[in-house]
Amino acid sequence: MRLSDRLVAGRTIIELGLTQLRHTPGRTVLAIGGVVLAVLSVTLLAGLGIGVVETGQDTFDDSGLEIWVTGGPGAEATTDNEVVGTQTLTDEIRDHEGVSGVVGIAMHEIYVGPQPDETELTTTVGIEGSHSQFERADEIEDGAGILSRAVVVDPAIAERHDLTVGDPVYIGASPQTVEAFTVAEIGSYAQYTGTETVALQLGTLQRTTGTASADRASFVAVTVADDVDQEAVQADLQAAHPDYDVRSSDDQFAAMVTDQALVVASGVALVGLAVVGGIALTGNLFVLVAYQQRETLSALHALGLSRAFLAGLIGIQGALIGLLGGVVALLATPVLAAALNRLSTAVLGFERLVRTGLEIYVLGLAVALVVGTAVALGAGWYAGRAVTVTSVRT
pLDDT (tens digit per residue) in 26-59: 667 777 787 788 788 788 877 877 776 676 566 5
Quick one: DSSP state of residue 242? T
Question: Is the pLDDT higher at 22 or at 337?
Answer: 337
* Beta carbons of 104 and 92 less than 8 angstroms apart: no
For the residues 282-298, what does the mean pLDDT come to? 67
* Beta carbons of 274 and 360 less than 8 angstroms apart: no
pLDDT (tens digit per residue) in 207-223: 888 888 888 888 888 88
Say what the pLDDT of residue 18 is: 59
Three-class SS state of 181: strand
Judge residue 187's burial from the number of C-beta atoms within 10 Å of its C-beta, 0-12 exposed, 13-18 middle, 19 or more buried. Answer: middle
Phi-psi region at 19: left, alpha or beta (left = phi > 0; alpha = psi -120 to 50): alpha
Given pLDDT bands bounded at 50, 70 and 90, which one contains residue 389? Answer: very low
Given pLDDT bands bounded at 50, 70 and 90, which one contains residue 103? Answer: confident
Of 154-158, 195-199, 224-228, 277-281, which gets the smallest average pLDDT?
Answer: 277-281
Quick one: DSSP state of residue 217? B
Q: What angle do CA 335, 338, 343 make, to 5 degrees?
A: 130
pLDDT (tens digit per residue) in 178-213: 999 989 888 877 666 667 889 998 888 988 888 888
Say what the pLDDT of residue 78 is: 37
Q: Residue length, the chain?
A: 394
pLDDT (tens digit per residue) in 5-18: 454 455 655 655 55
Domain limits of the chain? 3-59+263-391, 73-242
pLDDT (tens digit per residue) in 165-175: 889 999 999 99
Task: Give the separation between CA 189 and CA 330, rounded to whole angstroms.
Answer: 36
